[in-house]
Structure 1
Amino acid sequence: MRDIQSQLKLPPAFQPEVEAAAAQAAANPRLPELDRTDIALVTIDPPESMDLDQAMYVERTDGGHRVYYAIADVAAFVTAGDPIDLEANRRGETLYGANAKIPLHPKVLSEGATSLLPGQQRPALLWTIELDKAGEIAGIDVRRARVSSRAKLNYAGVQQQIDAGTADPMWAVLREIGELRKQREQARGGISLPLPEQEIDVVDGRWSLAFRARLAVEDWNEQISLLTGMAAAQLMVQARVGLLRTLPAPEPQSLQRLHITARALGIDWPDGLSYPEFIRTLDPSKDTHVAMLTACTTVLRGAGYTAFNGELPAQPMQWAVAAEYTHATAPLRRLVDRYTGEVCVALCAKQSVPDWALAALPGLPATMQASGHRAGQYQKAVLDLAEAAALAPRVGETFMGSIVEVAANAPTKGVVIVRDPAIEASVSSAANLPLGADVKVKLVEADPVKRTTRFELAG
């Protein structure tokens, strides 16, 4: 792990002056006057998470639903140009690699004074979003407020309670909102790829790999985050100032290639069925469909950030969301969210956007592009290490797997998914690889030092 961090030139531990500034800031938060500790907010995250950016409460109204979404107010602790701010601008985002997280802010803030931990008064940006009976946005407000989370919950625990019928009634309301928002997403032509997630689990220092299907409560909760990002984008587009998360529509030839892939896999893609509609017909429990979903990710590349002030971007849309969208809900883990939140607070208060936020907007797209690249490199390197270490004693063995990707310019090379253990690695063959097929593969290399795992088609 140290070699990976050194090779990728990742940020080391925070300098003493940054830690000292963070400790000072943690002891002296700028608490807002508005007290909304009456709202029964809760957080829901993976159980090990301590950097809690969001707390939520949802309720029914006569006109539909109301969403309260409290976002950690990093600007209540960090001042533009101070040591914490300068270091955060160098880092861009938190980097995740198994149990070796490299945080955006010192832990005294990100897992302490700024985190929306239960039973603590915290400064927050409190979003209040009104939804009509169809789930469309009917009103948006965000302002600084003191909040207090009632509980630190985790996805698996809440899902278990929902399935058992013992969950708090609020989760039934969240389900209503989540399903309505998914219907709105489908109507817009939005896309969500239900690929199985490959995860590294670390318990008592022992690493294990698994593919994990998403829980329903995760999907509903994700809809609240997406809703808030779209609400923030709506405010900024109307005011013609801010920063958007953008993704252009794919080129027609990219979609044509996917039609060819579907035919090769024996998956029906009827004429006139759009890409988003086709995605919703796929079943991630079927290996041929996983291969198709993997191929479908190729048209979702090229996302970026676009800053604007006075004139809207020529291409403001996030194609996968099928709407204007921005990142605004994770300021403890992503630098850009602090600035988009600040812009939205000013706009709702009908005030000028602070100069420090305006001055930073033009440089944020490049900062976030660089940090996103580092994050992807780090995550992949750690996953490669885990896979190679898990398989190192088993070189020469044969495994059952599925071919999920074949190189366009080298059809004898591709990617295989092995279910046990949960591995996704390169595979080669003397003949063209059969995309989507269940196959036997022989492990020919698993080198933790080089972080490489390689299979060959057996037979």
Structure 2
Amino acid sequence: MPRRPMRMSEAAKAALATALKKLRTDLQAPSGFPAPVLAAAEAAARAPRLPDRDATDLPLFTIDPPDSKDLDQAMYLERRPGGGFRVHYAIADVAAFVTAGDALDAEARKRIVTLYFPDGKVPLHPPVLSEGAASLLPNQKVPALLWEHDLDAHGEVTRSSVSRALVRSRAKLDYAGVQQAIDSGTAEESVALLRDIGTLREAVEAERGGISLSLPDQEVTFEDGSFRLRYRAALAVDGWNEQISLMTGMAAAKMMLDGGPGILRTQDRAPTHEVTRLHHIAQGLGIDWPHHVSYAELIRSLDPHDRKHAAFLHEAAGALLVKSVYKSFPDHDHIPAETVHAAIAAPYTHCTAPLRRLVDRYAGELCVAVGADREAPEWVLAALGDLPSRMEKAKGNAADRQSLDLVEAALLMDRVGSTFDAVVIDTDAELAQPNPREGQVQLAEPAVLGRVTSAAVDLELGASARVKLERADPAFPDKNRRVLFSLVQDQR
């Protein structure tokens, strides 16, 4: 049966526009940059602080969504004589443009992160920098923090270093194009090596007990004057590319822990009772989870396209991937007791997205100082104590999730009363309810997650179901119930 096109009526578009405007207000998202900040950005774009080292001979490339202009990372991968690999990884050097205490710095410290909304983003830095002079756009000479990682033949890092350098990306690639080129055997060697290195790093991650969830993302697009929602399954190249970033974040954390001071991104291990509960859920879903198999091993064995596996993965994401926090320390003698990020299974920090996240500028500066065997700049040390609490105020996750909620409600406004195929991915059994009658469903089409209620039967986790849309209202005050379904057909 052909799928019915999901188009928004004019009323739904108007409701969404109003709701998004209110969301921006609620999140106190700035509407533009003050004139002094724009003037400072223009001046900085014309006269950045350039490094002594020239590495523009490296044929770097970037991998980003096709329409992205704020390009933080570029890479060049090569084999080392005698075996192993070398990864050159350039990170945009925001500190070459932003001076501590100036108007740009003050504004970035207020904004903290770039906020993404379906109808546009609120950038951390003015576009003349973030999408221009500081971005690693192709054929543009740009100051960068250039990481070099040496790996052995098994993908283990044997040496990491970072220093300032002038770089030039040769090509702006996108994920789908890179995947196709690698799969077809037409990728140039440096690009093709991303698969070799990424696969090895995934094996290293598995060995140390790291966790990678591969659930499809909900993706909002704007087509033919209307918003669309679809599921985007992760490509293999997404994971390989992420491994390069993770490797750099771990190397940065190690540098700071060895040399101090530093700032880490940490995550506690899940409580024992949550692991026990997930074992019961796995058993109920028919998923074999022997006690000698770790949670990380189990996750890697599951197929997110299997409805029961997908339900378990949704439960696992909420139960075991507990909130991450930032921890800073002023010197080597005051390292926090817990330094590991549980999902990564190693010490880790954010340092690879300074155009979009405030903390990365500071982490990068600390690593450059360690690499040069000198004291970190005073402006970095002065900000360290306040930085974790400042980053906790960032509203990027709220903007992402609530924007999706609003698009879901608007997209379905004209379909109230319609029925849909869905899978039960959560139930209130986790609230110790013996007869779960509320939960969450994932529609097959469109890409919507919503609350569901059942009047007559208990909801069964991982079951397929037919549900009726009872409410779709972007203006509904309870954000968790803007989209509400009821169970109309027995689960199977």
Name the counterpart of 2:391: 368
Is 2:414 the counterpart of 1:393? yes
Name the counterpart of 1:40: 59
Q: Structure 2 residue aligned with 1:340, among 354, 363, 368?
A: 363
Name the counterpart of 2:288: 268
Between 414-423 and 130-139, the greater mean CA deviation after superposition: 130-139
> Runs of 5+ in structure 1 lacking a partner?
none
Q: Structure 1 residue aligned with 2:42, among 23, 39, 45?
A: 23
> Runs of 5+ in structure 2 lacking a partner?
1-19
State the alpha-carbon separation in 2 of the partners of residues 353 and 63 from structure 1: 35
- 1:224 CA displacement: 0.3
What do the CA deviations read for 1:20-66 (whole angstroms, capped 9, x no partner)?
A: 11111111111112110000000110111100000000001024100
- 1:6 CA displacement: 1.1
What do the CA deviations read for 1:57-107 (whole angstroms, capped 9, x no partner)?
A: 000102410000000000000000001101111111111122421110011
What do the CA deviations read for 1:223-260 (whole angstroms, capped 9, x no partner)?
A: 00000001101100101310010001111111011111
Is 2:465 the counterpart of 1:439? yes
Amino acid at match of 2:460: P
Name the counterpart of 1:350: 373
- 1:163 CA displacement: 2.2
Give the match's secondary structure for 1:29.
coil
Is 2:139 the counterpart of 1:113? no
CA RMSD of aligned residues (A): 1.1
Name the counterpart of 1:170: 190
State the alpha-carbon separation in 1 of the partners of residues 361 and 119 from structure 2: 25
Identity of aligned residues (%): 52
Give the match's secondary structure for 1:269.
coil
Name the counterpart of 1:421: 446
1:67–1:129 Cα contact (<8 Å) kept: yes
1:245–1:304 Cα contact (<8 Å) kept: yes
Q: How does 1:308-319 map to 2 (within 5 A)?
A: 308-310=329-331, 311-319=334-342
Name the counterpart of 1:58: 77
Amino acid at match of 2:326: Y
Amino acid at match of 1:347: V
Give the match's secondary structure for 2:248.
helix
- 1:130 CA displacement: 0.7
- 1:158 CA displacement: 1.3
Name the counterpart of 2:172: 152
State the alpha-carbon separation in 1 of the partners of residues 223 and 182 from structure 2: 26
2:138–2:172 Cα contact (<8 Å) kept: yes
Is 2:150 the counterpart of 1:130? yes
1:211–1:419 Cα contact (<8 Å) kept: no
State the alpha-carbon separation in 2 of the partners of residues 391 and 204 from structure 1: 17
Task: Tell me which stretches of 4 or more aligned residues in structure 1 moved more than 6 Å.
Answer: none
Amino acid at match of 1:272: H
Amino acid at match of 2:439: G
Q: Structure 1 residue aligned with 2:426, among 405, 419, 441?
A: 405
State the alpha-carbon separation in 2 of the partners of residues 400 and 83 from structure 1: 52
Is 2:454 the counterpart of 1:454? no
- 1:204 CA displacement: 4.7
- 1:266 CA displacement: 1.5
Give the match's secondary structure for 1:257.
helix
Q: How many residues align?
A: 457
State the alpha-carbon separation in 2 of the partners of residues 57 and 262 from structure 1: 42
2:269–2:322 Cα contact (<8 Å) kept: no
State the alpha-carbon separation in 1 of the partners of residues 93 and 209 from structure 2: 33
Name the counterpart of 2:6: none
Give the match's secondary structure for 2:170.
coil
State the alpha-carbon separation in 2 of the partners of residues 267 and 319 from structure 1: 23
State the alpha-carbon separation in 2 of the partners of residues 110 and 168 from structure 1: 29
State the alpha-carbon separation in 2 of the partners of residues 8 and 74 from structure 1: 25
Between 216-225 and 161-170, the greater mean CA deviation after superposition: 161-170
Q: Structure 1 residue aligned with 2:322, among 301, 306, 323?
A: 301
1:93–1:333 Cα contact (<8 Å) kept: yes
Give the match's secondary structure for 1:151.
strand
1:243–1:305 Cα contact (<8 Å) kept: yes
1:55–1:70 Cα contact (<8 Å) kept: yes
Give the match's secondary structure for 2:449.
strand
Between 244-253 and 93-102, the greater mean CA deviation after superposition: 93-102
Q: Structure 1 residue aligned with 2:249, among 192, 214, 229?
A: 229
Give the match's secondary structure for 1:96.
strand
